[in-house]
């Protein structure tokens, strides 16, 4: 079993979108045993559902994230999850600094799309087009991540340096 945690800042936009998209993609790959979750580096919205715009954008693509609830990353997540996937470099740094012992487990989502050191921008302060753009990027990254897990000859993750 491979355990993957997607992380953004508040866990109401990008990381729940990534969790939902990745979960849907993974369902089509029989034989992969995965545990998938999401969290935020900050607890601003703990217990809240995803942003309404994120729910609507995901729903338009056939993904239901409405039952997810925001939570903050905890130390135990680094012991439980094999891979912590940050949506951007800012949250990558926060995770690596807060949990330096486990920083080898932290990666950027867009690395899996072949876009090294690229971010999934936070759509929170924008309109629906920002959510659609974030979803486009998340889908590319999620497909690359899934490929890395399902192709035994392809490296699962690699060290990232800034």
Out of 23, 53, 122, 140, the active site residue is 122
DSSP 30: T
Of 60, 87, 102, the residue nearest 142 (C-alpha): 87
Q: Are 142 and 107 in contact (CB under 8 A)?
A: no
> Taking the CB of residue 98, how many other CB atoms lie within 10 A of it?
13
- Whether 147 is a known active-site residue: answer no
Out of 13, 14, 51, 107, the active site residue is 14
- Whether 14 is a known active-site residue: answer yes
Quick one: three-class SS letters along 61-82? CCCCCCCCCCCECCHHHHHHCC
Burial letters 78-96, b for 16+ CB under 10 A, else e: beebebbbbbbeebbebbb
- Whether 13 is a known active-site residue: answer no
Q: Which residues are catalytic?
A: 8, 14, 122
């Amino acid at each position: 079993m491979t355990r993957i945690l997607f992380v953004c800042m508040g866990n109401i936009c990008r990381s729940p979108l990534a969790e939902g998209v990745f979960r849907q993609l993974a369902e089509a790959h029989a034989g992969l045993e995965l545990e998938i979750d999401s969290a935020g580096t900050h607890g601003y919205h703990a217990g809240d559902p995803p942003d309404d715009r994120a729910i609507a954008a995901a729903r338009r693509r056939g993904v239901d994230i409405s039952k997810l609830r925001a939570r903050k990353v905890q130390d135990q997540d680094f012991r439980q999850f094999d891979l912590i996937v940050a949506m951007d470099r800012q949250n990558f740094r926060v995770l690596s600094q807060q949990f330096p012992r486990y920083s080898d487990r932290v990666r950027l989502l867009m690395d899996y799309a072949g876009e090294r050191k690229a971010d999934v921008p936070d759509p929170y302060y924008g309109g629906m087009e920002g959510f659609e753009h974030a979803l486009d990027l998340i889908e590319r990254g999620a497909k690359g991540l899934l490929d890395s897990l399902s192709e035994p000859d392809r490296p699962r993750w690699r060290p990232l340096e800034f």
